Amino acid sequence: MVKLSASKLKTHSDCSFVYYNKYVKKMPDSVGNGAKRGSVCHNVLELLLKEKRIGYVENILQHKNYKSVPGVKKYTELLAKKYGVCYEQNLEMINSFIVTGLSFDFYCEGANKVIAEGRFEYKTDKYHINGIIDKIAYYDDVTKIFDYKSSKSKFAKADIQFNIQALMYALVENKRNPGTPVDFNFIFLKYKKAPLQNVAVDDKTLAGFEQWLEYMTEY
């Protein structure tokens, strides 16, 4: 059975020819600076989510600069060099993105458990999906999912109404904790004042998405 990820399905949805070249023919895939900056930010935010680094986060937020913590500065710029984006304009954008990511209830106050980079693999006899969720917060009455985005703009209405990534991640958490509502938010790191974009998910929507996954697997 083919194993499907949100990125595979999105690529096929956008262009089946690109999907064929990327996943069947295994042709090299070019990555732009925006995606590279996003990879740096994802790694830094994952590092800082650990409770023992609360002091680091407070320091960065106070100074509005990751460079205020020497260890974080070194780690961030090593990653930037690895991805080929270690020059001033990129580092300024990376700094702005990191500060935005840390500014909105980063540790999910009141949550029983918070997980960074939560890997999942879920399989039935009709579909098989896998992926990595940037941040999951488990509360008594809700599971909140957060996905960081470093893109220039938020999703258009049509893209948010049927968002493959949001629905897949919400479906997995729904299967893990049946009966617990799932609240999904994208965090657009470019938007300092209002980075959150919520995706409405409910049991009926997830049931329909699950049927679509079965169809796409067969297809």
- Count Cβ atoms below 10 Å from residue 56 Cβ, excluding itself: 18
Under 8 Å CB-to-CB from 129, ≥6 apart: which residues?
Answer: 3, 4, 5, 120, 121, 122, 123, 168, 171, 172, 213
| pLDDT recorded at residue 128 | 97
The residues pairing with 115 across neighbouring beta strands, listed in sequence order, are 136
The pLDDT of residue 28 is above 80? no
CA 6 to CA 11: how far, in whole Å? 9
Place of tokens 């680091």: 56
Share of the chain above pLDDT 90, in %: 81
- Evaluate if pTM is beyond 0.85: yes
Given its phi and psi angles, is residue 141 left (phi above 0), alpha (psi -120 to 50 degrees) or beta? alpha
pLDDT of residue 31: 67
pLDDT tens track for 86-111:
999 999 999 999 999 999 999 999 99
pLDDT in tens, 124-158: 999 999 999 999 999 999 999 999 999 889 999 88
pLDDT reading at 33 higher than 90: no
Q: In whole angstroms, what is the distance from residue 118 CA to residue 197 CA?
A: 20
Helix (H) or strand (E) holding 73: helix 70-83
DSSP letter for 4, please: B
Residue with tokens 């002091």: 55
Look at residue 163 in the predicted model and tell me its pLDDT.
Answer: 94
Q: What is the mean pLDDT of the chain?
A: 93
User: Which pLDDT score, from 0 to 100, does residue 15 have?
Assistant: 87
Measured distance between the N- and C-terminal CA atoms of the chain, rounded to whole angstroms: 11
pLDDT exceeds 80 at position 77: yes
